[in-house]
Amino acid sequence: MKKTIIIGIAFWLAGLSPAFGADNWPVPEEYNVMDNPVEFNNQNVRAGRDIYDKNCKSCHGDPGNYNALPLVPPPPDAASEIMQANSDGQLYYKITIGRGAMPQFETTLGSDDIWRAITYIRRFDPRNEGKLVEEALRKGKIYALVGNYNSTIDIVAEEELTDNNIPLSNTTIFVRAKKTFGNLLVGSITTDENGRASYAIPQDMKVKSDGQVDFILSLNDDFETVTFSVSGVQVKQPDSNVELPRVLWSTNDRTQIWLLFTYFAALIGGWTVIGYVILQIYKLFRLGRNNKP
Amino acid sequence: MIQKKSPEEARKSLDLIFHDLTRSLRVKDELSRFWLFILIMFCIVGVWAWGYQIKEGLGITGMRDYVSWGMYISNFVFFVAVSLIGLLISSIMHLLKIHWAQPISRVAEQVAIAAVGLAGLIIVMDMGRPDRFLNVFLHGRFASPIIWDVTVITTYLVISLLLFYLPLIPDLALMRDRLKGKIPEIQYKIYDILSLGYRGNAQQFKIIYHSLRTLMLLIIPVGLAIHTVTSWLFAATLRPGWDTTIFGPYFVAGAFVAGTAAVIQVMYVYRVRYKLKNYFNDEIFDRMGKTLVFVCLVYLYFNINEFLVPGYKMKTAEGIHLTELFTGKSAPIFWFTQIGGLVLPILLLLIRYFRKPFPLTFIALVTLVASWFKRYIIVVPTLEHPFLPVQNVPEHFVHYSPTNPEITITLFAFFAALLILTALAKLFPVITIWEYAEHQGIEKKIMFNEYEN
């Protein structure tokens, strides 16, 4: 009886120990009092969300949904009490240094980005409830033309107000190039006080053999989604040398011809012989029928 | 040269041979019913496990992101290996006129058909979405060794079936002539249809002989291709342990070891079960023992190359892999495959006593089991050691251990293969009667005389 109790207690302790470990993550004194230098506003929360989605979500899950990966010890949900019980500085320390399966982000994220991620985590702090008022999205419009012998994209942006449109000054326009899958951010430019900007197309862009690029312009998240495409910009002369080389391991239209030839020659050759033998069997069958005793 | 027999003698001796070699068709006792029952039960369990896997997905296996080829692919490689014996015995040995091997050519073909058929099925069982199997043909990339493998395996299966069927035609004719009324009507009907009205005349025989020759030549490149291409599935990737140039011949040599060992098992069972002591005689076992030594020596030579050369250099990733094999977690299996599967048969089978039927069969069984584990050792440890370190994943992603459904499905392949062998042995003689009889000096005239036109 005594023995079973002792064993029972031992198991109970053993079961508790990882939980102990998770709670007890010592943070050096100087971090405890650190303050988040990033202002708590919509823009920074949004930036933090992008960082979180890219670097943390795969393990920690969607904040508030408690769908983190089942690791040991478990990654706490961003909205959980465990997470929110940390001070800003403690969060900063834990994210920077890491522990066990929690990676150390010191080497992969700048301190600005870590602070933005913390800002985003703080958005789920009950104490911050109602602090952020989502502003209504603004309505913008972009027009663009290719100028100066295909070396610039000349942009005009304006904002649609209820009664009239005004030039959209000092606003960032993102320039993306269309790829086979998704779009690649190639640069951005800020409009002047007249809502105008001239984006210089980078001359070292990698392009397809026809030398053409489709550009897509867009505004930032403060605006309703709006894009403007400038298609078929002749960035470079068409160049047949850009053609990807044929390599053995590639897709059917890019693999080397001799390989396809060999494969099909062997296939057809082998099956022709098999077909010939089957024909012989058929001949045997015909003979047998004619030979009926 | 064998003495021609007088017609009287010849007829008598043909009757005897026919009686002995069709015994497998007649045996219907408790034991064979029990055997069938066991096989069918296990096959049903296996199919059920597969159904479960289809329903739940491959997550029920032990395979994860890193080790994505586990027991199924090891099993697949094993079965492809075993099937290659058809090439060695019924083609190469026939073409080289090695007469002692003729009585076992049908056994070799049976083993080849069962093994290569199952190999194809195992691949489908390893698929997460077997319903999309046809996409392999519709959207396959011809530059991929996987497509080559699918192609050659299908081709090899067809050739093996033809190589089984063609020499069977005269036997079917013999059974048609001699078994009327002695077997169920439907079975007789099947023999009658399949024998294609063969009457043993010169024209018919010539067609069979000629077609057989053609196939024996064709199967050489195809047979070498199936195992070489299977090895390329591995060798064409950049991984420690697989990134080597001798994988093709290494696999082919290993295949002959596995296949020879498998044929010895089947021969022994037939010998005992169907009382064929005079056919699968001591001499054949003796020679099969020597064959096994020979193929093991060739394979040993490749193994030494495969492990000594990289072991000398111990390049970073390769070094981790080899250390794991030589002294690490996989060491027990590794040394079992090397010693049980190579050193032991080579040393023991040099002694005449061990080439007697029973000891030989036992040693070959150990070799066969070692051959299976050899495939496992080729497939799994390499996947556990990718070039980039494995980080931040749950423990069961790092080390592979097969689950129960996975083992059940793997065992299914064995039972299904045995079921195919059993069915073939119950339906058709296990030795080519006419060929054997001819060797005993019985002329074709006598075999088919009653119906000579």
Alpha helices in chain A (DSSP H): 2-23, 29-32, 42-55, 57-60, 81-84, 88-97, 111-122, 257-290
**What is the distance between the alpha carbons of residues B201 and B169, in angstroms, rounded to a whole number?**
13
Residue A162: is it exposed, middle or buried by C-beta count within 10 angstroms (0-12/13-18/19+)? exposed
A91: closest CA of chain B, how far (Å): 20
**What is the distance between the alpha carbons of residues B396 and B308, in angstroms, rounded to a whole number?**
32
pLDDT at B2 over 70: no
**Lowest pLDDT segment from B38-47, B333-342, B434-443:** B434-443
Residues A211 and A111 in one domain: no
Flag whether residue B304 sits within 8 Å of chain A, measured between CB atoms: no
| Residues 6+ away with beta carbon under 8 Å from A165 | A141, A158, A159
Assess if residue A2 is contained within a domain.
no
For residues A171 and A158, is the Cβ–Cβ distance under 8 A? no
Size of interface A-B (CB pairs under 8 A): 86
Residues A147 and A122 in one domain: no
Can you tell me the mean pLDDT for B200-225? 92
Smallest Cβ–Cβ distance between B392 and the set A101, A278, A292 belongs to A101
Can you tell me the mean pLDDT for B219-224? 94
Flag whether residue B344 sits within 8 Å of chain A, measured between CB atoms: no
Using CA coordinates, name the residue in chain B closest to A102.
B392
Flag whether residue B339 sits within 8 Å of chain A, measured between CB atoms: no
Smallest Cβ–Cβ distance between B453 and the set A101, A266, A291 belongs to A291
Using CA coordinates, name the residue in chain B closest to A271.
B155
Assess if residue A6 is contained within a domain.
no
pLDDT at B449 over 90: no
User: Which of B218, B228, B398 to mutate: most A Cβ within 10 Å?
Assistant: B218
A283 neighbourhood in chain B, CB within 8 Å: 207
Residues A187 and A228 in one domain: yes
In this prediction, the residues of chain A whose per-residue pLDDT falls under 50 are 1, 10-22
Flag whether residue A209 sits within 8 Å of chain B, measured between CB atoms: no
Whether A252 sits inside 8 A of B143 (CB atoms) is yes
Flag whether residue A267 sits within 8 Å of chain B, measured between CB atoms: yes
* Predicted local confidence at residue A89, as pLDDT: 92
User: Which of B229, B392, B397, B451 to mutate: most A Cβ within 10 Å?
Assistant: B392
Nearest to B287 by CA among B59, B77, B165, B104: B104
Residues A158 and A196 in one domain: yes
**What is the distance between the alpha carbons of residues B366 and B373, in angstroms, rounded to a whole number?**
11
Domain boundaries, chain B: 7-290+402-451
Smallest Cβ–Cβ distance between B141 and the set A101, A252, A264 belongs to A252
**pLDDT more than 90, % of chain B:** 68
B221 neighbourhood in chain A, CB within 8 Å: 270
Query: How many residues in total does chain B contain?
Result: 453
A264 neighbourhood in chain B, CB within 8 Å: 142
A71 neighbourhood in chain B, CB within 8 Å: 394
Assess if residue A250 is contained within a domain.
no
Residues A152 and A72 in one domain: no
Q: Give the pairing of strands A212-218 and A172-178.
A: antiparallel
B148 neighbourhood in chain A, CB within 8 Å: 263
CATH classification at residue A207: 2.60.40.1120
Whether B197 sits inside 8 A of A255 (CB atoms) is no
Whether B143 sits inside 8 A of A71 (CB atoms) is no
* Predicted local confidence at residue B44, as pLDDT: 96
* Predicted local confidence at residue B136, as pLDDT: 87
Flag whether residue A284 sits within 8 Å of chain B, measured between CB atoms: yes
* Predicted local confidence at residue A22, as pLDDT: 46
Whether B155 sits inside 8 A of A270 (CB atoms) is yes
Whether B207 sits inside 8 A of A283 (CB atoms) is yes
- Give how many domains chain A has, as a whole number: 3
Flag whether residue A203 sits within 8 Å of chain B, measured between CB atoms: no
B4-to-A105, B266, B320, B436, B444 alpha-carbon distances in Å: 89, 32, 66, 14, 12
B417 vs A35: which has the higher pLDDT: B417
User: Which of A59, A287, A289 to mutate: most B Cβ within 10 Å?
Assistant: A287
A165: closest CA of chain B, how far (Å): 53
- What is the domain range of residue A270? 258-290
Using CA coordinates, name the residue in chain A closest to B200.
A288
* Predicted local confidence at residue A7, as pLDDT: 53
**What is the distance between the alpha carbons of residues A34 and A39, in angstroms, rounded to a whole number?**
14
A248 neighbourhood in chain B, CB within 8 Å: 143
pLDDT digit string, tens, across residues A99-130? 888 999 988 888 899 999 999 999 898 888 87
What distance lies between CA B192 and its chain's CA centroid?
A: 29
Assess if residue A99 is contained within a domain.
yes
User: Which of A280, A282, A286 to mutate: most B Cβ within 10 Å?
Assistant: A280
Assess if residue A181 is contained within a domain.
yes
pLDDT digit string, tens, across residues A182-193? 888 898 899 998
Q: The complex's ipTM?
A: 0.90
Assess if residue A133 is contained within a domain.
no
pLDDT at B87 over 60: yes
Residue A226 exposure: Cα atoms within 13 Å on the Cβ side: 17
Flag whether residue A220 sits within 8 Å of chain B, measured between CB atoms: no
CATH classification at residue A34: 1.10.760.10
Assess if residue A7 is contained within a domain.
no
Using CA coordinates, name the residue in chain A closest to B148.
A263
The sign of the CA dihedral A27, A33, A38, A41 is: positive
A256: closest CA of chain B, how far (Å): 8
**What is the distance between the alpha carbons of residues B58 and B45, in angstroms, rounded to a whole number?**
18
B203 neighbourhood in chain A, CB within 8 Å: 287
Assess if residue A113 is contained within a domain.
yes
For residues B178 and B195, is the Cβ–Cβ distance under 8 A? no
* Predicted local confidence at residue B370, as pLDDT: 96
B214 neighbourhood in chain A, CB within 8 Å: 273, 276-277
Nearest to A252 by CA among B140, B136, B146: B140
**What is the distance between the alpha carbons of residues A77 and A92, in angstroms, rounded to a whole number?**
16
Residue A119 exposure: Cα atoms within 13 Å on the Cβ side: 24
Smallest Cβ–Cβ distance between B196 and the set A255, A267, A284 belongs to A284
A266 neighbourhood in chain B, CB within 8 Å: 225
Nearest to B243 by CA among B79, B385, B119, B402: B385
Using CA coordinates, name the residue in chain A closest to B236.
A249
Flag whether residue A101 sits within 8 Å of chain B, measured between CB atoms: yes
- Whole-number mean pLDDT of chain B? 91
Nearest to B410 by CA among B128, B75, B47, B69: B75
Whether B198 sits inside 8 A of A285 (CB atoms) is no
User: Which of B65, B91, B135, B141 to mutate: most A Cβ within 10 Å?
Assistant: B141
Whether A255 sits inside 8 A of B142 (CB atoms) is yes
Flag whether residue B238 sits within 8 Å of chain A, measured between CB atoms: no
B47: closest CA of chain A, how far (Å): 32
Smallest Cβ–Cβ distance between A263 and the set B148, B196, B197 belongs to B148
Smallest Cβ–Cβ distance between B451 and the set A250, A281, A293 belongs to A293
pLDDT digit string, tens, across residues B357-398? 999 999 999 999 999 999 999 999 999 888 877 777 777 788
* Predicted local confidence at residue B331, as pLDDT: 95
Alpha helices in B2-144 (DSSP H): 7-21, 23-26, 30-56, 71-83, 85-86, 94-95, 105-125, 135-138
Flag whether residue B329 sits within 8 Å of chain A, measured between CB atoms: no
pTM of the entire structure? 0.71
